[in-house]
Structure 1
Amino acid sequence: MENLLQGIPRVVVRVDDILITGSSKSEHLNNLETVLGKIQESGMRLNKDKCVFLAPEVVYLGHRIDQYGIYPVESKVKAITEAPEPKNVTELKSYLGMLNYYNRFLPDLASNLAPLHELLKKQKQWEWDKSQQEAFELSKTLLKSSKVLVHYDPNKDIILSCDASPYGIRAVLSHKMEDGCDRPVGYVSRTLAPAERNYSVLEKEGLAVIFALKKFHQYLFDRKFTIYTDHN
């Protein structure tokens, strides 16, 4: 299915899930007609009971999507925020797996979760102390307070804000909106390797920029954008 519909504007395919969008009703209908035509030509059939047309919002791959942006699905957020404290490595991996599914909504997630990831290291004895408990509770707070991610729009001003801490690097891709406010398109972060922690502050900031450029390459390539850092 992905190969069949590849290249059609504003159409996303994951296995047999198809999401068709448009900046206007007419564009949406044109894209829908193109997709249905391709499917008909291929001889494939669709289950009409599983099809939804011209919906103001949809739930797709664990995300709620409408004209304003992308949100985590409330039922999944509830499952994460009500998850009990992990008692072993297996339970911790399960929790982190659920949380990481929404990492694009969570600023500086890698650094905030560093105490939890410490328990996943080989030969590390399981010891859940205050730092792990605080990181666990903070991760839930971040998810519950996460903001809507606006849809990427190549016609809007693009801003890439990068930062570094002693233990991690992070970035947020944003749009400058009509009201003058910056709205996030997505967040990325990672912890620093032991050798990277010895970098100077300026080197860490540079590393954050390189990391962000790679992560957001599909949005930034061949486009004008502004980079913000703490150092010039």
Structure 2
Amino acid sequence: MELDAQTNQNMVVTTHLYRRYRQVSFGINSAPGIWQQFMDKLLSGIDGVKIMMDDLTGGETRQPQLQHLRQIFIHSRQIVRTQTAKLHHLQIQIKYLGHTIDKDGIYPTEEGLLKEQPAPTNTSEMGPFLGSINFYSRFIPNRRSQCTPLHRLTKKGFVWRWTAVEQKMFNDLKTAITSTDTLYTTTPTCI
């Protein structure tokens, strides 16, 4: 991605010699918001294509997907360089933003990691577990009531006490995330 003239003047690195960047340094990782805005503008004319950084999705069947890919390549041919080794087309299952998406629906990607997680022994171990549960909350019915005893343990001034109640809630939440009952079928227009 080329830098504009003003930004180019400010992007100078020096140790012994000056080096002025003409493009965004270190790829899209250094400017995700600008890249997202750029891609939204570049591909805005293509119906059915959703953009999240460098991931594109679209099409209910193979034919619309091929049409979308053709349009994407036509729109971006002169502007964006791609690394063909990193391109994956017409996948039947994808991992996307912590979820796995396939023809049957959407489900959590990290379920195996949660299944093996031991019970936390302190507040700092409880935080990441509750973060994972919160991220996957759409798959857990009555999550708020199930998490209440565990959230209490993270409050400032609360004495850590792991009892059978907390252990049951912990096990129930892990089961809810790793159960195949969490699968649901999506409406194709929502993706």
Q: TM-score if structure 1 supplies the norm length?
A: 0.59
Letter in 1 for 2:107: Y
Is it true that 1:137 corresponds to 2:171 in the alignment? yes
Unaligned runs of 5+ in 1: 155-217, 220-232
Shift in alpha-carbon separation, 1:7–1:99, aligned structure 2, 3 A: farther
Do the aligned partners of residues 131 and 5 (structure 1) sit closer, same or farther apart at CA in structure 2, a change above 3 Å counting? Answer: farther
Once the two structures are superposed, residues 165-212 of structure 1 have per-residue CA deviations (whole angstroms, 9 ceiling, x without a partner) of: xxxxxxxxxxxxxxxxxxxxxxxxxxxxxxxxxxxxxxxxxxxxxxxx
Question: Do the aligned partners of 2:114 and 2:178 also contact (CA within 8 Å) in 1?
Answer: no
Aligned to 2:185: 150
Among candidates 45, 61, 65, match of residue 97 of structure 2: 61
Give the Cα–Cα distance (whole angstroms) in 1 for the partners of residues 44 and 121 of structure 2. Answer: 45
2:165 & 2:44 partners in 1: Cα distance? Answer: 47
1:48–1:78: structure 2 CA closer, same or farther, 3 Å change rule? Answer: same
Q: Is the 8 A contact 1:116 1:132 kept in 2?
A: yes
Matched residue SS, 1:113: helix
Residue identity in the other structure for 1:13: I
CA 1:88–1:9: 2 relative to 1, 3 Å: farther
CA deviation after TM superposition for structure 1 residue 26, in Å: 1.9
Given that 1:21 and 1:31 are in contact with CA atoms closer than 8 Å, whether structure 2 keeps it comes out as: yes
Distance 1:8 1:100, change over 3 A: farther
Q: Is the 8 A contact 2:100 2:107 kept in 1?
A: yes
Output one character per residue of 1:36-59: Cα deviation in whole Å (capped at 9) or x when no partner: 223224x21111111111222222
Shift of 1:120: 1.6
Deviation at 1:85, TM superposition (A): 1.0
Matched position secondary structure for 1:22: coil
How far did 1:79 drift? 0.8
Structure 1 CA distance for aligned equivalents of residues 63 and 153 of structure 2: 53
Which stretch has the larger CA shift, 111-120 or 101-110?
101-110
SS for the counterpart of 1:131 is helix
- Paired position in structure 2 for 1:92: 126
2:144 is matched with 110
- Quote the Cα distance in structure 2 between the aligned partners of 1:92 and 1:98: 10
Secondary structure of 1:84's aligned partner: coil
> Higher strand fraction: Structure 1 or Structure 2?
1
Number of paired residues?
A: 152
1:23 aligns with 2:60: yes
1:130 Cα offset (Å)? 2.0
Alignment of 1:1-232 (within 5 A): 1-2=35-36, 3=40, 4-6=42-44, 8-16=46-54, 18-41=55-78, 43-73=79-109, 76-145=110-179, 146-153=181-188
Measure how far apart 1:96 and its partner are.
1.3
Cα RMSD after superposing both structures: 2.2
Give the partner amino acid of 2:52: R
Q: Partners in 1 of 2:183 and 2:46 — Cα distance?
A: 26
* Distance in 1 (alpha carbons) for counterparts of 2:188 and 2:52: 21
- The offset of 1:19, in angstroms, is 2.8
Relative to its length, the structure with more helix (as a share) is 2
Cα deviation for residue 153 of structure 1 reads: 4.6
Gaps in structure 2 of 5+ consecutive residues? 1-34
